[in-house]
Amino acid sequence: LVGFWPPDNLQGTKKLIYDCYAVLSFMFLQGVYLLAQIADLIVIWGDLPLMTATSFILFTNLAQAVKFINLAVKNKMIRRIVNDCDQVLGNVQTEEAKRIVRRCDKDTTVQLVAFFSLTLFTITGFATSAERGHLPLRAWYPYDTSKSPTYELTFVHQVYALFVSAFLNVAKDTMVTTLIAQCHCQLKLIGLSLRTLGKDLEVDKSHLLSPKQGELIRSRLHKCAMQHQRALDVAQQLQLCFSEPTFAQFNVSRIIICVSAFQLVSATNNMVRLVSMGTYLVNMCFQVFLYCYNGNQLSEESSDISVAAYFSPWHTMSPSIRRELIIIMVRSKRIARITAGGFTTLSLASFMAIIKASYSLFTLLKQVNDGD
């Protein structure tokens, strides 16, 4: 809609026009905003409460800008991942597999809806919390904003930019997290097919499979191994595509959470503002949580492949088939992780670490402020 995801069939000059539109849109939404806020920051340097008031939106927008750039650059690769995932998940056959896909789908939808509604709530709170004659968010403009019609124009620009960029943010984040969740779903399906390796095969009293049954199991196992390779490949590509923006997001989130908490504590007398700051804080935490939760699910599921292989009726298989199973188990010992810039893996433990780091920054900020 806003120029960032060109439809598949744009070619040639049309594409160029679309790209220009994208750049313009970006400038209008983000660029103006960023510049204004950075200028404001420079003007009020040293006054902590005011600084925090400006910076909490500024940093979010910075992170967004990074993500936009990343999206534009890695467009093709991302598109390919999306298509591949769609294909794999759409081809499931058995009832059990369909149920797994449906449940994963429901999980991601719930996350999306929660994130969306939180954002909606926060933004509405912000927009309506503006005091008479003041703009909702602090920024420095080269003209005087208290006179109308400049006041009205700037107000409208801020509100519009706020809404659209917030929803874009939601969309971008949920795209990444949903892709990770889809990879997790793929691995779950592989686990299912490993567990039911001996489905519909009657084992006779010698507790050993007949050679013909053994061949059938072997072909099923080979299919599983190929699927496993493909899923791990997808995880690798996700890592390549989204590692840097996630790193930027995490660093920014640390600062944002601490700054929003500070804003919340040095409360203004505006009730709506207080509530919307609170929900903003929750929103930011939820954003980071979404990434970490999905990354954690992916890692866990990749190590569960080994358990799924163990749950297959391997004691009925001949040693040569067992050895193939062992190779799969050995590979799944090394978990598939998504890292943020190579520094932190996406996991619930790193989520706790981010919260702790923000909290320490917050206490530090409070100390510095109280000391002044």
Stretch that binds other proteins, among 7-15, 59-67, 168-176, 345-353 (CB under 8 A): 345-353
| Alpha carbon distance 39, 140 (integer Å) | 6
The footprint of other proteins on residues 305-324 (CB under 8 A) is 306-307, 310-311, 314-316, 318-319, 322-323
Angle (nearest 5°) at CA 206 between 200 and 207: 50
Torsion of CA 29, 66, 361, 346, to 10 degrees: 130
* Residue 100 touching other proteins (CB under 8 A): no
CA distances to 19, 32, 328 from 26, rounded to whole Å, are 10, 9, 46
| Alpha carbon distance 12, 9 (integer Å) | 10
Stretch that binds other proteins, among 27-35, 84-92, 266-274, 298-306 (CB under 8 A): 298-306
Instruction: Pick the closer one to other proteins by CB: 125 or 295.
Output: 295
Q: Report in angstroms how near the CB of residue 327 gets to other proteins at its nearest.
A: 10
| Alpha carbon distance 243, 338 (integer Å) | 7
Binding mask 155-194 for other proteins (x = CB under 8 A): ----------------------------------------
* Residue 207 touching other proteins (CB under 8 A): yes
| Alpha carbon distance 330, 326 (integer Å) | 6
Secondary structure (DSSP) of 207-239: SS--HHHHHHHHHHHHHHHHHHHHHHHHHHHHH
Select from 24, 73, 156, 352 the one that contacts other proteins (CB under 8 A): 352
Structure tokens given for 153 = 């124009």
Q: Report in angstroms how near the CB of residue 110 gets to other proteins at its nearest.
A: 17
Select from 330, 334, 364, 368 the one that contacts other proteins (CB under 8 A): 330
- Which residues of this protein are in contact with other proteins, per CB under 8 A? 205-208, 296, 300, 303, 306-307, 310-311, 314-316, 318-319, 322-323, 325-326, 329-330, 333, 348-349, 352
